[in-house]
Structure 1
Amino acid sequence: MAEHHSCAFRTSIGGQALIEGILMRGPEKEAVVVRDQEGKLVEKVEPLRFIKDRYPILGWPLVRGTVNFLDSMVHGVKALMYSADFYPDDEAAQPSRFEQWLEKHIPGKKLESAVVALAVALGVGMSIFLFMVLPTMLTGAILHFYPGFPMWGRNLVEGLLKIVIFLIYLIACSRQKDIYRVFQYHGAEHKTIFCYEAGLPLTVENVRVQPRHHPRCGTSFLFVVIFVSILISSVVFGIWPITNVWLRTAAHLILLPLVVGITYEFNRWVGRHVQENRLAQILTAPGLWMQNFTTNEPDDSMIEVAIRSLELVLPSEKGKDAW
């Protein structure tokens, strides 16, 4: 792992790797930059409108975590679909009869919104199933033959299964050839943000030497979500022992907004103090290690995309993006 450079400041700007591109979100704008099949950079910049400005309660601590998570997912899916349009596969080039029917009977905007909503729902649903429902069901199946197994032991087995399934998921994703380049762009995004935070000019040479593991990465966020869910469920099930698989699953779902809210606040604290606080460094170490599976070293062309996407979202007022 590359050595972390000291930061001149910490920015709230964050990003997401796409298909041959990067999405960056700043305090005022979000930008998508994609390198098309001809090698040219295609830019798309839009102003950001935050729902908390209309409904201040959604910006409260512990509440804003879930709101921002869902908002990021919606914008991320839209950007991913946009980037995918530049690299259609042979099957996608010719729309199916069902796709033709949808395009004919549903207006473009409504169809896009429906597809995004479905993709977000499937993404959230798959995450909940893999990292919450599946471990609970497996634990119930394993301990079905041990009716006297203590509750603390059940909580421990379920927690270990969550971590193991998460690791298997990350490793499986990292082995996919099509995902490798996306993870290279992920590394380029992190490196560029580190370069900006260090106060260095945004050049390929300066970005190239930066570390590719960032404490505010989504990989670290998901790991902390799992870890916090283990802690909270252990406390809850320690007070109210629940062994029924479906009731435990329901309890996990009820607790999920609290888990995401706590994780979001934790990530904010880490983002501010990870450079100088030893405790923050220890707590973020597992998430940073897991980024070995979700970030790869980028080439210079990818770094150019990351630099441009970051430049497009820099705030009009210097320091407005301070974390």
Structure 2
Amino acid sequence: MKIYGGRAGFNSVSFTGDRYHSVARFKGGEITTEVDQRKENLKITKILSKIPFIRSFSILLDMVIEYWKRFLFMTIALFLIRFIIGGKSNFDLSHPIPINGLVILCSILVIVGLIIKLTPIGKYHAAEHMVDSTYEKGLDLTLEHVKRQSRVHKDCGTNLVMSVFISYFILFILYGHGLWVFLVSWSIGYEIWKKEPKLIWSLVLIIGKAAQYLLFTSKPEKQHLLVAIEALTKLEEKELANKTN
């Protein structure tokens, strides 16, 4: 079975396989697992995903479609804030605030990292990595084997973020901040992450793994590992049962 991705939540771990997607949650002292059929990508995202330097935006499109309620809520919230502030003062959010884009990006990464690090998400994120590594090595998914694995992973999405960040840093030094700089950085960073050019990718991995360890994961406890093990075990059972039918 090939694992196409994993994700950690506040009290959950999920994995995606060839045809199914599993989610294991820890609630009320018990682990519950759901396995659903994997959702097919839209035709437009499938087309975009095949075009170099454009395919990076298919991920953003998928995220907007999958989490459209959250994006809608954020848009409405920002509109209301602008309306309320605009109605009571001369402050206009339509005028750009001269803040260094690099500082903003660094601040966002650190704040998000600390939130993940200091909440159960960091432990579930580490557990997801450790279980994935155990499976990739062909070992049985037991606590003993999982505990021996590193909590950083070469395929973690953090490496994509660091690839984009390095691209943005270089372009920022050359051209300054701007929306186009971020968009181009996202496109270049994604291509580096996708193709993994030897010299550049070695640097990305060093920075990415350091970021994973320091900011985006924390040492998991037994319950976090068991949730991740359950998520992958149930996914494998469903995938194998589908192949034999």
Shorter-chain TM range is 0.7 to 0.9
Q: Give, in whole Å, the separation in 1 of the partners of 2:73 and 2:235.
A: 26
Letter of the 1:27 counterpart: D
Q: Residues 168-247 of structure 1: matches in 2 within 5 Å?
A: 168-170=110-112, 172-173=114-115, 176=118, 179=119, 181-235=120-174, 237=175
Rate the CA distance shift 1:214–1:120 in 2: closer, same or farther, 3 A. farther
Q: Give, in whole Å, the separation in 2 of the partners of 1:201 and 1:18.
A: 24
Task: Provide, for residues 152-173 of structure 1, a one-character-per-residue CA deviation record: whole Å limited to 9, x for no partner.
Answer: xxxxxx64x3564245424542
Structure 1 residue 23, shift from structure 2 partner: 2.1
Alignment match, 1:303: 225
Alignment match, 2:188: 262
The residue matched to 1:221 in structure 2 has which SS? helix
Structure 1 residue 189, shift from structure 2 partner: 0.5
Q: Give, in whole Å, the separation in 2 of the partners of 1:73 and 1:196.
A: 31
The residue matched to 1:15 in structure 2 has which SS? strand
CA contact (8 A) 1:62 1:262 kept: yes
Q: Give, in whole Å, the separation in 2 of the partners of 1:121 and 1:218.
A: 25
Structure 1 residue 278, shift from structure 2 partner: 6.5
CA contact (8 A) 1:27 1:48 kept: no
Q: Give, in whole Å, the separation in 1 of the partners of 2:221 and 2:32.
A: 15
The residue matched to 2:15 in structure 1 has which SS? strand
Structure 1 residue 210, shift from structure 2 partner: 0.5
Rate the CA distance shift 1:70–1:303 in 2: closer, same or farther, 3 A. farther
Alignment match, 1:116: 70
Instruction: Work out which structure has the larger RCO, using CA pairs closer than 8 Å and 6 or more positions apart in sequence.
Output: 1
CA contact (8 A) 1:13 1:24 kept: yes
The residue matched to 1:32 in structure 2 has which SS? strand
- TM-score between both structures, scaled by the size of structure 1: 0.57
Rate the CA distance shift 1:73–1:184 in 2: closer, same or farther, 3 A. farther
Q: Give, in whole Å, the separation in 2 of the partners of 1:298 and 1:65.
A: 32
The residue matched to 2:21 in structure 1 has which SS? strand
Alignment match, 1:286: 207
Report the aligned-residue RMSD. 3.3
Q: Give, in whole Å, the separation in 2 of the partners of 1:25 and 1:73.
A: 19
Q: Give, in whole Å, the separation in 2 of the partners of 1:29 and 1:255.
A: 37
Rate the CA distance shift 1:18–1:120 in 2: closer, same or farther, 3 A. farther
- TM-score between both structures, scaled by the size of structure 2: 0.72
Q: Give, in whole Å, the separation in 2 of the partners of 1:207 and 1:73.
A: 34
Letter of the 1:284 counterpart: L
Structure 1 residue 61, shift from structure 2 partner: 2.3
Q: Give, in whole Å, the separation in 2 of the partners of 1:27 and 1:259.
A: 30
Letter of the 1:259 counterpart: S
Q: Give, in whole Å, the separation in 2 of the partners of 1:55 and 1:67.
A: 8
| Long gaps (5+) in structure 2 | 77-96, 241-245
Task: Provide, for residues 53-101 of structure 1, a one-character-per-residue CA deviation record: whole Å limited to 9, x for no partner.
Answer: 77524432222222124425754x5xxxxxxxxxxxxxxxxxxxxxxxx
| Long gaps (5+) in structure 1 | 1-10, 78-112, 123-135, 140-157, 243-247, 318-323
CA contact (8 A) 2:162 2:204 kept: no
Q: Give, in whole Å, the separation in 2 of the partners of 1:73 and 1:18.
A: 18
Alignment match, 1:145: none
